[in-house]
Amino acid sequence: MFYIIVLIFGTIAYLLLFIYATPTTVAVGIVLFFFLLWFSLSIFVVQVPFFYSAKTKGDSRRPKVALTFDDGPHPKYTSMVLDILKENDVKATFFLVGNKTQENVAVVQRMVKEGHQIGNHSMSHTHLLSLQRERYQTEEIGECQTAIFDLTGLSPLYYRPPMGYKTPSTLKAAKKLGLTIVGWDIKGWDVFQTDPVKIASSVLNKVKRGSIILLHDSSSVKGKSTDRAPTIDALSIILSGLKDRGLKPVTLKELFAF
């Protein structure tokens, strides 16, 4: 929890500098404020660099985008997503939670059979995993790699941290396992939004060449009741809108290929 401690003590120091204000302490306080702002954003906002950058988009010179789905597999909704993708001859990338793969073997194997790419989303999707020690993160990510390999014979190339949070320890853990950290630049906000039209609009109003689109085919909390029906309904609208815009959905591997 080193990063939380830095934020707590940094905030206390910032407040003290203004309580005992002098021209010097005010100047130092302003610098400290912007450092803490950057420090916080770089952890909790995947697009903000933190000594390194997660990949959040592909080559903008080609009319391709990547559809990515987090938090699955789910026995009902992931299968419905796969049905729609198959009907539209579209390939996507699924960032899987390791302990869910073991409960949905047939769904995971179907993904592979139908040509979709599988990514690593940690073993248990602990929300603040990226704030943990490097060793613990390595274990969580590594266990998910093993779970996926045991089911599919494939080792994921990409890791998406739970919630998109990232720290230098996250980078080190991923690099140890040969993984590239991938975020997104477009969100459907389907975790909060229940209107399929609004979910689709969140994507289509901002999508551009090279975009990585984030949607969800399950809940991030194991055992929690999940309703991804709005996402399912939005997906057809999104695919139609991408086609109208001349954008082809592909896997991340294809998006990043030169």
Tell me the pLDDT tens digit for each residue of 4-54: 665 565 566 556 555 766 776 656 666 666 666 666 666 677 777 766 678
Residues 38 and 78 grouped into a single domain: no
CATH for 207: 3.20.20.370
Distance between CA atoms of 41 and 39, rounded to whole angstroms?
6
The pLDDT value given to residue 83: 98
Cα–Cα dist 38/50, whole Å: 8
Claim to verify: residue 146 and residue 244 sit in the same structural domain:
yes
Judgement on whether residues 71 and 116 belong to the same structural domain of the protein:
yes
Catalytically active residues are: 70, 216
Q: Are residues 136 and 181 in the same domain?
A: yes
**Are both 162 and 122 inside the same structural domain?**
yes
Domain co-membership, 70 together with 27: no
- % of residues, the chain, pLDDT over 90: 68
> Of 99, 98, 168, 160, nearest to 131 (Cα)?
168
Identify the pLDDT of residue 101: 95
Q: Number of folded domains in the chain?
A: 2
β-pair partners for 67: 213
Peptide bond into 49 cis (omega under 30): no
Q: Are residues 111 and 163 in the same domain?
A: yes
63 confidence band (pLDDT: 50, 70, 90): very high
Task: Give the model confidence (pLDDT) of 156-186 as tens digits.
Answer: 999 999 988 888 899 999 999 999 999 999 9
Residue 52, in any domain of the structure: no
Residue 51 maps to a domain: no
58 in a domain, yes or no?
Answer: no
Residue 211's pLDDT is what?
A: 98
Of the two residues 35 and 148, the one the predictor is more confident about is 148
Residue 134 above 70 pLDDT?
yes
Q: Is the domain of 36 the same as that of 120?
A: no
Q: What is the distance between the alpha carbons of residues 70 and 88, in angstroms, rounded to a whole number? A: 20
Residues 130 and 244 in one domain: yes
Predicted local distance difference test score (pLDDT) of residue 225: 53
What is the SS3 assignment for 103? coil
- Which among 68, 74, 118, 119 has a CA at the least distance from the CA of 100? 74
**In this structure, what is the dihedral angle of CA atoms 206, 209, 210, 215, given to the nearest 10 degrees?**
40
- Torsions phi, psi for 158 (to 5 deg): -125, 145
pLDDT band at 136 (very low <50, low <70, confident <90, very high): very high
Residue 53 forms part of a structural domain = no
Query: Which tokens go with 17?
Result: 């500098």
| Tens-digit pLDDT profile for residues 218-233 | 976 554 557 899 999 9
Contacts 24+ apart (CB under 8 A), 243-247: 245/204, 245/207, 246/63, 247/63, 247/64, 247/65, 247/207, 247/209, 247/211
CB 194 within 8 A of CB 160: no
Query: What pLDDT is stored for residue 39 in this prediction?
Result: 62
Same-domain pairing of 192 and 245: yes
Q: Which amino acid is at 20?
A: Y
What's the pLDDT at 227?
A: 87
Q: 90 with 37, same domain?
A: no
Query: Token pair of 14, please?
Result: 């910032």
> Has residue 213 been placed in a domain?
yes
Query: How much is the mean pLDDT over the chain?
Result: 88
- Domain range for 40: 2-44
* 87 and 131 in a common domain: yes
Write down the pLDDT at residue 245: 97
Residue 54 included in any domain: no
Q: Who wins on pLDDT, 46 or 253?
A: 253
